[in-house]
Amino acid sequence: MSDLLPFVALVALVAACGGAGDSPAQKCDASSTYALVQSIFEARGCTAGLCHGEATEGGLDLRPASAYENLIHIPGTSADLRRVFPGEEEISLLYLKLAAKTDGIDLGALGIAGSPMPIAGAALADDELALIRAWIRGGAPERGVVAGALGALGCEANDADVLPNKIPPLPAPADDEGVQMYSGAWSLPSESEDEVCFVTYYDFTDQIPDSQKIPCPELYGGAERECFTYKEVLIAQDPQSHHAVIEGYIPPEDTPEQWEPTSEVWKNWICLGGENDGVDCDPLDIGGCGERSACATRPETAVACTGYPNGPREMGTIDGFFGNAAGRKNIAFSQEPTFRESFVDGVYGVVPVKGFTIWNSHSFNLTKHDTSIEQYMNFKFRESDGRLYQRQHLIVFDAIFAMGVIAPFASTEVCATFTAPRGAHLLNLTSHTHQHGRDFRIWYPPNDPCSAGTDCKPPTDREPNYRSFVYDDPLNQIFGEGNTFALNGSEDSERTFRYCAIFDNGEADPMTVRRNSNRPDAVTCEFAEAAGGFIANCGCTPEERECLGGESQGMLCGDDDGVCGAGGICDACPLAGGVTTEDEMFAVLASYYLVPPTQ
């Protein structure tokens, strides 16, 4: 880590800024969300000559002409943070220093030196801090308006046209520290939703130092192939992404020819993004597609890559829907614009030195402008003396549709259990639902196993150990040094977790009921229709619809608004498990490493 003295100057950031006003100017006519952020700097005196104006205290210039380039992806020197990390406020030094004064965040617990900001003035108001958080989570764009931030500082939501949020490119690690994978840019039209699958080929043979290479474990191709190990994976993706599942593909032992991207099982290689978007490409010509582009198999709508036509058959089986398709090795699962998983000492992940990356991306574009989705993934090498236990991934999709069918204006609570292997030490634990999922809870062991459904009940003798309320920003519990979670019990109950969630189809607020008129323009709707009842269709049939509003709310209405009377509309639908964000899922995701118990 760099010497502390430069850091003290750096993290002052707006330390001396303050006293120029207790609230920012209300610039509701600003051309961008960032312009509102800049107004906070100016109103707080941060751009004054003796602060981060002409004097550029700590090397930071926050004047309008310079502030953006002085913030985005500029490293700090404490706790491995950057001044602003687009997509994630929790690793953005600017936000944490401001939140420390507004919300009382303990900087010392995060390994951050210095005082909360501003030092000389009052704390930022809640709505000011919320604006900065929304801007960062929206990708910290310099131009355009971030959805969800329009109401900050009292501005009306119709003050500007919301543009799709795009993150700046993620800087790659230094050559001796790690490598980067890049997805390219797949197209997402305006007001649409899609879940696509595609594959890129990479070859780091000449980029990875020999000291970082190991013979591959059997499940990653065997000792005749080279792998590298990593201690951290970092994902950055455009904020329109609902989730990204990123995996490595390992061919079956009896088809070694599939290690070659020229094999006939790999089809339709094209450039994704950039000036050569859509042009045929050679996957062996790494970088041949140009800047902000990658050579990839053509993206196709394929939920969990099921039925994907441009790769090997075993890659696209229905097993992928439940996280256990042959030949697919999970690298990361991200439900946020930015996801970072750092392993405790001694734990490492494995990736072949050359091979294939599967990108399974579910995204939605609620704006009136076409956009694209880009994803970056950085690996940091694991030192040779730290390779003791390999990181494993746990995907609990067994009860993914256990909520069944929920009538309009009703809700149900669903619980299930999963049992971790003996000797597992948890690294992280998180949950997954869609927008009707409420109050996701997990109870640590001991718990008796139970079958998923409404007959499996939450424990009544203790509070949950995990609780998350926001479906698109779920709590991600991290178990690190000094906070290990070992599961060594010989009895299943000693390693069994119980998890529950409430699925609310408009009972608490009728206006949140699943509505036929709100069904997404999602290409995945065709997948749902082809599933033949296995998952919910987009919208609902006239026979299922009920009145929303009016005196007849809850009455079956076919396709006739007249049945609903004054103030009513025939639009309410049942809720069930499915593949769009209007439907539901119920899952747990975790990672761990195994240490065989001594007894």
Q: What is the pLDDT of residues 280-310, one digit of tens each?
A: 999 999 999 999 999 999 999 998 898 999 9
pLDDT at 102: 92
Give the HSE-up count for residue 171: Cα atoms under 13 Å, Cβ half-sphere.
12
The residue length of the chain stands at 599
pLDDT at 13: 37
Task: Please give the Cα distance from 323 to 317 (Å, whole number).
Answer: 11
pLDDT at 598: 74
Confidence of residue 7 (pLDDT cuts 50, 70, 90): very low
Higher pLDDT pick, 417 / 110? 417
**Residue 417 near residue 411 (C-beta atoms within 8 A):** no
261 pLDDT above the threshold of 60: yes
| pLDDT, tens digit, 9 for 90 and up, residues 93-143 | 999 989 998 999 888 888 888 788 877 778 889 988 999 999 998 899 988
Question: 567 phi and psi, to 5 degrees?
Answer: 80, 0
| pLDDT, tens digit, 9 for 90 and up, residues 359-409 | 999 998 888 889 999 999 999 999 999 899 999 999 898 899 999 999 999
**Residue 62 near residue 14 (C-beta atoms within 8 A):** yes
Confidence of residue 21 (pLDDT cuts 50, 70, 90): very low
Antiparallel, parallel or unpaired: β 226-237 and 347-352: antiparallel
Task: Please give the Cα distance from 179 to 185 (Å, whole number).
Answer: 19
pLDDT at 155: 64
Tokens 């970088």 sit on residue: 287
Q: Which of 473, 530, 529, 536 has its CA nearest to residue 505?
A: 536
Q: How far is CA 169 from the centre of its chain?
A: 16
Across-strand partners of 92?
Answer: 82
pLDDT at 123: 86
Type of residue at 244: A
Q: Which of 427, 354, 345 has its CA nearest to residue 179?
A: 354
Helix, strand, or coil here: 334?
A: strand
Q: Count CB atoms within 10 A of the CB of residue 365.
A: 23
Which of the residue ranges 13-22, 86-95, 119-128 has the most confident prediction, judged by mean pLDDT?
A: 86-95
**Residue 167 near residue 87 (C-beta atoms within 8 A):** yes
Burial level of 184, CB count in 10 A (0-12/13-18/19+)? buried
Type of residue at 101: K
**Residue 230 near residue 382 (C-beta atoms within 8 A):** yes
Whether residue 446 is preceded by a cis peptide bond, meaning omega within 30 degrees of 0, is yes
DSSP 453: B
| Angle 391-392-398 from CA coordinates, rounded to 5° | 160
Task: Please give the Cα distance from 372 to 357 (Å, whole number).
Answer: 19
CA dihedral 150, 156, 160, 161 (to 10 degrees): 70
Contacts of 531 (CB under 8 A, 6+ apart): none
pLDDT at 172: 96
**Residue 568 near residue 510 (C-beta atoms within 8 A):** no
Regarding pTM above 0.85, the answer is yes
Q: Count CB atoms within 10 A of the CB of residue 424.
A: 21
Task: Please give the Cα distance from 99 to 524 (Å, whole number).
Answer: 39
Q: Which of 500, 497, 495 has its CA nearest to residue 443?
A: 497
